[in-house]
Amino acid sequence: MRRSILRAVGGYLPDRIVTNDDLARTLDTSDDWIQERTGIRRRHIAAPDELTSDLAVAAARRALARADLGPDRVDLIIVATSTPDHTFPATATAVQRKLGCGPGIAFDLQAVCAGFAYALATADNFIKAGQASTALVIGAETFSRLLDWTDRGTAVLFGDGAGAVVLTALEQPGTALDQGILATMLAADGRHYAHLQVDGGPSSTGTVGHLRMNGREVFRHAVGELTGAARAVLDAAGLAIDDVDWLVPHQANKRIIDAVGKKLGIAEAKVVVTVAEHANTSAASIPLALDRLYTSGRLDRGDLLLCNAMGGGFAWGAALIRW
Ligand code: ACO
């Protein structure tokens, strides 16, 4: 069967680093509180003239170079983002132009923190259907521009960044030993719309708005949905948690990641945790964590990766991938 192979990954974090102590100078918070409740130590913030598409392009260039592919080969670009350069056109078309790609399919996908899981599953389906053969799947965010910097309950949690993967099509036997994406799962439940949202938008207020969150409700649902999504893709592929080499979860909060790891029964050493270094970068967090795993030299071809994510909507999903 035709499968989507993850040929390469790339990540990009803006130069400017803001530590918890930096935030404590203007907010009633502390490094201790933030680290204890979230595991976050610092976040990267985009320069004023740096757009989401610039972050996306930097990550995509690294991924394409590692895949040894030119931009002319890309026939599908999906940018998962909640912070597009403009309301329209799609940031994916800005990426297409800046990378120097020729005509192809390019669009944005909005599933907030679950955006990368949604984009990966969508690209996988395009490839399996034969509608694309080389895809760039990018998660890119400038969440710093959505934050209310006077709200200590949310401002400390997020950061800017981008991550990208290159997918190519490859015929495989069709078993759980295949290379590439073995299973994906997506879901959303709009009854929870109000728990995590931005209080503005083109059709409601005509403004960009600020992020608002009921942190406790998000936490409560996140652990259950992330665990369920992970189990669903393992079941779909006929594999068990012991088969997984790396859990690469959405990087929102160390406590959520720990709780999910515990419920799944996976060894701590197999869980990739990068939230301390870049905080929650929403759709960018899984490919950034994957990039960190790759650059650390610990990821081997054939390793089984389990990725899961959850965020506003609520929307959530998972993917099981053999690297
Ligand atoms: N510094 C110091 N005190 C703070 C801060 C802060 N940055 N933020 C809140 N507090 C205070 C609150 O005001 C409250 O004070 P009070 O008791 O005087 O009223 C106290 O700390 C406890 O507040 P809680 O909200 O109950 O704290 P909690 O232990 O639940 O931690 C947190 C808050 C970290 C937001 C937690 O609920 C959480 O992690 N939720 C998940 C949110 C998340 O990760 N969202 C990301 C997007 S969704 C996703 O990606 C999965």
Listed by start position, the domains of the chain span: 2-171, 180-322
| Longest distance between any two alpha carbons in the chain, whole Å | 57
In tens, the pLDDT along 238-286 reads: 999 999 999 999 999 999 999 999 999 999 999 999 999 999 999 999 9
The answer, yes or no, to whether any atom of ligand 1 lies below 6 A from the CB of 38, is yes
CA 156, 35, 200: angle at the middle one, nearest 5?
20
Annotated catalytic sites, by residue? 113, 250, 280
pLDDT of residue 89: 98
Token pair in block for residue 204: 């409601």
Q: What is the pLDDT of residues 154-172, one digit of tens each?
A: 999 999 999 999 999 999 9
Q: How far is the CA of 194 from the centre of ligand 1 (A)?
A: 17
- Least Cα distance to 289 among 113, 92, 124, 112 occurs for 113
The closest of 128, 256, 141, 100 to 120, measured between CA atoms, is 128
- CATH topology match: 2-171 vs 180-322: yes
Q: Nearest CA to 77 among 89, 114, 68, 278?
A: 89
Q: For residue range 70-126, what is the model confidence (pLDDT) as tens digits? A: 999 999 999 999 999 999 999 999 999 999 999 999 999 999 999 999 999 999 999
- Per CATH, the number for 2-171 is 3.40.47.10
In 3-state terms, what secondary structure has residue 146? Answer: coil
Task: Identify each DSSP E strand in the chain by its residue range.
Answer: 2-12, 16-19, 42-45, 76-80, 105-109, 134-142, 160-171, 180-188, 196-198, 211-213, 246-247, 304-311, 315-322
The answer to whether the CB of 33 is under 6 A from ligand 1 is: yes
Check if 149 has its Cβ closer than 6 Å to any atom of ligand 1: no
Beta-bridge partners for 310: 316
Angle (CA) 215 286 323, round 5°: 150
Q: Which residues of 289-315 are buried (b: 16+ CB within 10 A; e: fewer)?
A: bbbbbbeeeebeeeebbbbbbbbbbbb
Question: What is the best residue among 31, 219, 226, 314 to mutate for testing ligand 1's pocket, by most ligand atoms within 8 Å of CB?
Answer: 219
The CATH number of domain 180-322, selected from 3.40.50.300, 3.10.580.10, 3.40.47.10, 3.40.190.120: 3.40.47.10
Confidence of residue 65 (pLDDT cuts 50, 70, 90): very high
* Rounded Cα distance, 264 and 117, in Å: 19
Distance CA 17, CA 19 (A): 6
